[in-house]
A and B are shown apart, each in its own frame.
Chain A
């Protein structure tokens, strides 16, 4: 078994050449990765395989001797995932090493058919496990990208804006799921405490659909705000959503609802004893008339 490994060590140069040739005919993504980078990656990988510690066998993929190879492959696959390679293109990197190793085994064994068969099986198994490992790492890398994007989206999508002293608004855009609603709830309540606001306006103009779960989350947020001593006004309910809410039998009777954000803002100002009036200065009126004309 270690015969094959030592043969790989001796023929490293020719294997590398053969492998690179296979690799370049199989994967045609020159736009994503340079030839020189590919060369150095293949060479590093082959060195790691050839220089596995003594006593490490190709048969035992889980032995600690292959740890270097595995971690090298994992980081390579993760970076391929970020670069935009497909999973099969990533797996081809190790899979195209297979024919080169077969030819080494053939040279090594000569006419010994049984020995050659055993070696071939072994190499086959080893490379397959390597490629499975590659795919796992690739998917893991992808998952990390997705998780990071989700996190960024969560942070971006819950801005609490102060409309006036003591009045905050939360314009919601996009679909609400449980995780997002939790963040929305927490950031709104936090903002109420920080800004000492007695009124909070939740505007759902940008929410495409409202189902029972979303409505329940909204009601929870409104109740929590009430417990803290703030009043919530729900605005921006579109006709279709109003129909859905009634058909679903959701009770919004205890919640103040307004059709537009401006109406909600007006109500909040009224309840806090304020009023917006038009200034009677002739200069300003003239200017606005000119703009209107």
Chain B
């Protein structure tokens, strides 16, 4: 049985909590699973909690950025929350400022951001041709 990171659904949002050390294969599996789930449940927001992640390398950083871009293509906003100071310093030293990723301090403020952006986008969608039931 291969190791997988669980993806939880909460209404329009998907929650991912990374609680194990990420290795390259796990990151790629997460990318696969997450994109599949987003299109399955038509998710509008993705929250990735990395507060327990202590080691990060350039590959993981790039995968996170990729996941965010892929989610955006699938019409979902991504927010990465709870990055540890050491991880942030490492990423900056690696030259990865991850400009495409939204970040938040903790799950609470991350959810707040998702609610705000998703609601405002739906409102602007409603002005045009509404696809909502």
- A residues lining the B interface (CB < 8 Å): 185-186, 189-190, 192-193, 196-198, 220, 223-230
Contacts and interface: CB of A to CB of B under 8 A. Distances in A.
B85 A229 contact: no
A166 B93 CA distance: 26
Given A193-B84, A193-B85, A228 B92 contact: no
Contacts of B5: none
A227 B92 contact: yes
B111 interface: no
B57 to A, nearest CB: 15
Of the four ranges (under 10, 10 to 19, 20 to 34, 35 or more), the interface on chain B belongs to 20 to 34
Q: Identify the 5 closest CB pairs spanning chains A and B, nearest first.
A: A189-B85, A224-B88, A229-B104, A229-B103, A229-B105
A223 B88 CA distance: 8
A227 B105 contact: no
Contacts of A186: 85, 89
A242 B71 CA distance: 39
A213 to B, nearest CB: 14
9 contacts: A189-B88, A193-B84, A197-B105, A198-B105, A224-B88, A226-B103, A228-B84, A228-B88, A229-B103
Contact of A230 (B87, B89, B105): B105
Given A228-B83, A229-B81, A229-B109, A185 B104 contact: no
Given A228-B85, A229-B83, A229-B109, A220 B103 contact: no
Contacts of A192: 85, 105
Contacts of A225: 88
Interface in B60-82: 80-82
Given A227-B98, A229-B110, A189 B89 contact: yes
Contacts of A185: 89
